[in-house]
Amino acid sequence: MIDNKLIELIGVTKRYGGNTVIDDLNLYIRENEFLTLLGPSGCGKTTTLRIIGGFETPDEGKVLFDGADITKLPPNERQLNTVFQKYALFTHMTIADNIAFGLKIKKKSKQYIQDKIKYALKLVNLDGYENRMPDSLSGGQQQRIAIARAIVNEPKVLLLDEPLGALDLKLRQDMQYELIRLKNELGITFVYVTHDQEEALTMSDTIMVMNQGYIQQIGTPEDIYNEPENAFVADFIGESNIISSTMVRDCLVNILGVNFPCVDKGFGENKPVDVVIRPEDIDLVAPEQGQITGRVTSLIFKGVHYEMEVMANGYEWLVHSTDMSPVGSEVGIHVDPFDIQIMHKPESEDEAVSAKEL
Amino acid sequence: MKRKNTILLSTPYGLWMLGFTIIPLLMVVYYGFTTKAGELTLDNIRLIATEENIQALWISIRLSLLSTALCLVIAYPLAMILRNMKFKSNSFMVTIFIMPMWMNSLLRIIAWQNILERKGVLNTFLEWLHIPAINVINTPTAIVLGMVYDFLPFMILPLYNTLAKIDENVISAAHDLGANNFHTFTKIIFPLSLPGVISGVTMVFVPSLTTFVISDILGGSKVLLIGNVIEQQFQKLNNWHSGSGLSLVLMVFVLLSMALVGKYDKGEGSASVW
């Protein structure tokens, strides 16, 4: 069941003026999947969502829904609903009328609509709000109503365009769990757009990382975090040390003049590569036990951990650790083989530039 | 201290209101309910009941309603078009439509008189095309034309302002929930633009109802509006008492019409004038 392709984008290209926002994008979304489109602003993620929703028509390419071509179908004839960034509630209607809007258009019976309103308000934990006006609700409550208004129509897919963007941090975290619960209870597909990598990692089954109109990587949150395919993904998802290195042979990489054992194969011999090492994967040990030695140049307390910068072999290593090493102290750096992620060097100049910009 | 400042700052406005609104209004009320000898009377109010005055009031109401309706019908699609123009020059476009307001109103009405006259611009043009001349000047049509032309910007501005404030996502949301263009307009866009409709209607209907300049110049003495009747009481008959009495009656009609329009606002903030 989960392998059914519900939505498919084939060769989709979108331009505004002379500006290509999405270039030859190919993507499929499976039934019951929680897919997140993740990327910096202007990467084309919202445009992709709007093309799926029917608010934009691609200049080239096709959109398939359940195998049928819906590229030219207007939004009101698509079996999916959208939750907009700033709620977009109808301020001249009560909460009940807002939720009932889609159902009234479809000419459902009064009783059916009543039941649906009750059910939807219960689902988003706002029972009893039927007769309130949208303006009298907090941002978080308005967003729940926007979700309720969408899901009463029983869409096969719910599109969410940065729905938590306007909420404060604590509320945002609560709503993340709420959305996961909702998705599991409804058993429908969620397509979620965000620039917040933590949100994406927490909620998604699949993450699609985008930059400058191109897909950078598609994979599970674990894949994306642990095995980024290029420097852009590594840098965008969490903090990381990205070091230009040389692959000596299978399972051995030369980083800053020192050979490190690793687990990656198939990159060839003496080939230039990029190495990603997450700051929390670096162990600071006694100088004589380290693979490289260096000196601590800065120390910041972050709550859960300390953030340190260590100057070693001409590179400033970012290290996260619960143990503190004072500034100026000499330390050894140790990295376990499976914590070293090898990536191909970017092929074109453009990719290299776009990765460096971040 | 703060309170003292507030009072100090509001004093000029208080004086303004007292001198130019409250005292003149009280004077109108005083004149309206007294005779020249200063005795209390209702005769000035009863003056409205004469046949020609009732007729003048009735014509005024009809022509004002017609002008307001025409303004709404013309301005709404225009305001929608201005709203939907994505490029930055829409404020420039709005300026073009309200630019006639920068010229003296009397001048514009006299210009219309020149156009519509028996041997005016319009008929000269028609003659040149070998089409028989038409007789528009000094008819209710000419007055309605003048009212619509003169007051149209007052309809466009509030409509454009409320329509421009509607979030594009709200309209997208309506489409998303299955509404076609017609339903999106009737259930979302129009209800959300009601405050603009209300202030536009008020700002066209009230001056139309009370005007005497437009009817004077474009209607000749053939069509008498209630505004002209009141003007005659003051200017020609020099009777401030009867003129004030009729003004009070007209004021009641203005207040009634505003209350009627306001009823449809459902109390979502007062009928916001712009």
Element (H, E) at A333: strand A330-335
Q: Which domain holds residue A105?
A: 5-226
Q: Is residue A78 part of a domain?
A: yes
CATH 1.10.3720.10 maps onto chain B at 45-265
Pairs of residues, one from chain A and one from chain B, whose beta carbons lie less than 8 Å apart: 61
Same-domain check for residues A95 and A126: yes
Q: How many domains does chain A have?
A: 2
Please report, for the domain that includes residue A342, its CATH number. 2.40.50.140
Same-domain check for residues A220 and A257: no
Same-domain check for residues A107 and A146: yes
Listed residues A194, A226, A258: the one ending a domain: A226
Query: What CATH superfamily classification does B45-265 receive?
Result: MetI-like (1.10.3720.10)
The CA distance from A69 to A58, in Å, is: 13
Of B175, B177, B187, the CB nearest to A74: B175
The CA distance from A117 to A139, in Å, is: 20
Same-domain check for residues A254 and A175: no
B170 touches chain A (CB under 8 A): yes
What's the predicted TM-score (pTM) here?
A: 0.79
Q: Is residue A257 part of a domain?
A: yes
Beta bridge partners of A259: A254
Of A55, A85, A105, the CB nearest to B179: A105
Same-domain check for residues A195 and A275: no
Q: Is residue A216 part of a domain?
A: yes
B186 touches chain A (CB under 8 A): no
Of B167, B180, B268, the CB nearest to A88: B167
Q: Is residue A150 part of a domain?
A: yes
A19 touches chain B (CB under 8 A): no
Strands (E) across A17-149 are located at: 19-30, 34-38, 60-65, 68-69, 80-83
Same-domain check for residues A197 and A247: no
Beta bridge partners of A20: A15
Please report, for the domain that includes residue A52, its CATH number. 3.40.50.300
Is B39 in a helix, a strand, or coil?
coil
The CA distance from B209 to B203, in Å, is: 10
Q: What is the pLDDT along chain A (358 residues), one digit of tens a residue?
A: 446 889 999 999 999 888 899 999 999 999 999 999 999 988 999 999 999 999 999 999 999 999 899 999 999 999 999 999 888 999 999 999 999 999 999 999 999 999 999 999 998 889 999 999 999 999 889 999 999 999 999 999 999 999 988 888 888 888 899 899 999 988 999 999 999 998 999 999 999 999 999 999 999 999 999 889 888 999 898 888 999 999 999 999 999 999 999 998 889 899 999 999 999 999 999 999 999 999 999 999 999 999 999 999 999 999 999 999 999 999 999 999 999 999 888 765 444 444 444 4
Q: Is residue A244 part of a domain?
A: yes
User: Cβ contacts of residue A95 below 8 Å, gap of 6+?
Assistant: A121, A126, A129, A130, A131, A132, A133, A134, A137, A145
Same-domain check for residues A36 and A168: yes
Same-domain check for residues A122 and A265: no
Listed residues A204, A226, A248: the one ending a domain: A226
Same-domain check for residues A22 and A147: yes
Same-domain check for residues A49 and A196: yes
Q: Mutate which of B169, B177, B180, B183 to disrupt the A interface (most A C-beta within 10 Å)?
A: B177
For the stretch B26-78, pLDDT in tens is: 999 999 999 988 889 998 999 888 988 999 999 999 999 999 999 999 999 99
Q: Is residue A52 part of a domain?
A: yes
User: Cβ contacts of residue A32 below 8 Å, gap of 6+?
Assistant: A1, A2, A187, A188, A189
Determine the distance in angstroms separating the CA of A184 from the nearest CA of chain B, rounded to an integer.
Answer: 22
Is B169 in Cβ contact with A105 (below 8 Å)? Answer: no
Listed residues A226, A249, A273: the one ending a domain: A226
Residue A346 DSSP one-character state: P
Report A:281-340 residues touching B (Cβ under 8 A). Answer: none
Contact A254, A248 (CB under 8 A): yes
